[in-house]
Amino acid sequence: MNKKGVIVGSTDTDFCNVLLSKPHHAYVLGLWCADGYHRTSSIGLSSVSEKLAQTFLDFFRKYFDFSRLKLRIYLPVIADADFEVNRLSKIFGIKTIRQYRLKKAKVPTLHLYVNSRPMLRSFREARRAVVRATNKEILFAYFARRFDGDGSISEDKRSDCRIVYSNQLEAENDKHILVRLGFVLTKVYHYKDARTYCLYVSRLEATKFLEHISRYSPLQKSVSVPSRDLIYCQR
């Protein structure tokens, strides 16, 4: 399939470059790194945020026929399934939505994805290549999305500014990127009980960091630290 100059289905070289060519594409990459959904031959987003899912949908629609996009929703047991399916179908324009029930779910969780091995390879390659990127706009857009997905900060908007990772390599790579961007007071902590790695930005640099990434973030998100994280991430 050839659409807008990007060949999806035969090669991923050009598309990998696309992901690191514009801020808009870079924050989609950062979002996938934070909340990405993937299997052997599919790639997408898993999120409770309809705004983030819409961002990924808009990105996919540039490179795939709309009929190829798929959406699954995981609903709380007490949710009105017909109402949610109809509502989400109108929002995203996807007629066929698979639904599942989750006992522990409190709000609907969206899995938006497309079956495409070349696209999946492209995102994985771009995730590895971002550490070598030099364009500051690209890098701040990438961090804006990582922060929207897995970031938090205390109410004073200075202390406990951090991004949570599931593996050490990505946390350390992002730390090196921040140092190159001028944020030298950064540290990575490993919390064994939570099985996570937290990349902290010093309170002396947090305000500057948020000012830079806010230009690329479409979310006016709450910046308070989730209570579940406080259990494991006390200094």
Please indicate, yes or no, if residue 1 is contained in any of the structural domains: no
pLDDT score, position 14: 55
CATH classification at residue 141: 3.10.28.10
This model's pTM is above 0.95: no
Q: How far apart, in whole angstroms, are the C-alpha atoms of residue 200 and residue 189?
A: 8
Residue with tokens 């709380």: 76
Tokens representing residue 151 in the block:
């970031």
d(CA 90, CA 86): 6
Shared domain for 99 and 147, answered yes or no, is no
Domain check: are 101 and 20 in the same one? yes
Task: Identify whether 76 is part of a domain.
Answer: yes
Q: 118 and 158 share a domain?
A: no
Question: Do residues 170 and 109 both lie within one domain?
Answer: no
Domain co-membership, 224 together with 189 = yes
DSSP H helical ranges for 36-132? 50-61, 81-92, 117-129
- According to DSSP, residue 200 is labeled E
Beta bridge partners of 196: 191
Residues 6+ apart with CB under 8 A from 64: 1, 3, 8, 114, 116
For 109, residues 6+ apart whose C-beta sits below 8 A from its C-beta are 46, 47, 48, 73, 74, 102
| Domain membership flag for residue 2 | no
Same-domain status, 28 and 117: yes
pLDDT by 10s per residue, the chain, length 235? 444 444 444 444 455 677 888 898 898 899 898 888 888 889 999 988 888 899 889 999 888 888 899 999 998 888 888 888 888 888 898 878 899 888 888 888 999 999 998 889 889 999 989 999 999 999 999 999 889 878 888 888 778 899 999 999 999 999 999 999 999 999 999 999 989 999 999 999 999 999 999 888 866 444 333 333 333 333 3
Question: Do 56 and 44 meet the contact criterion of CB atoms below 8 Å apart?
Answer: yes
Encoded tokens for 233: 């991430």
Asked if residue 214 and residue 112 are part of one domain, the reply reads no
Q: Does residue 221 lie within any of the structural domains? A: yes
Give the HSE-up count for residue 83: Cα atoms under 13 Å, Cβ half-sphere.
6
Q: Is residue 114 part of a domain?
A: yes
Instruction: Tell whether 129 is covered by a domain.
Output: no
**Domain finish residue from 95, 124, 153:** 124
* Residue reference for tokens 């996938």: 32
CA 132 – CA 38 distance, rounded (Å)? 24
Q: Is residue 3 one of the residues assigned to a domain?
A: no
The answer to whether residues 95 and 77 belong to one domain is yes
| Residue 74 sits in the same domain as residue 168 | no
pLDDT in tens, 113-164: 999 988 898 899 999 899 999 999 999 999 998 898 788 888 887 788 999 9
Supply the range of the domain harboring residue 71.
9-124
CATH classification at residue 44? 3.10.28
pLDDT of residue 15: 59
Residue 61 lies in a domain: yes
Mark whether 105 and 147 lie in a shared domain: no
Looking at the 3D structure of the chain, how many domains does it have?
Answer: 2
Q: The dihedral of CA 40, 37, 100, 57: what is its sign? A: negative
Identify whether residues 18 and 119 lie together within a single domain: yes
Say whether both 158 and 61 belong to one domain: no
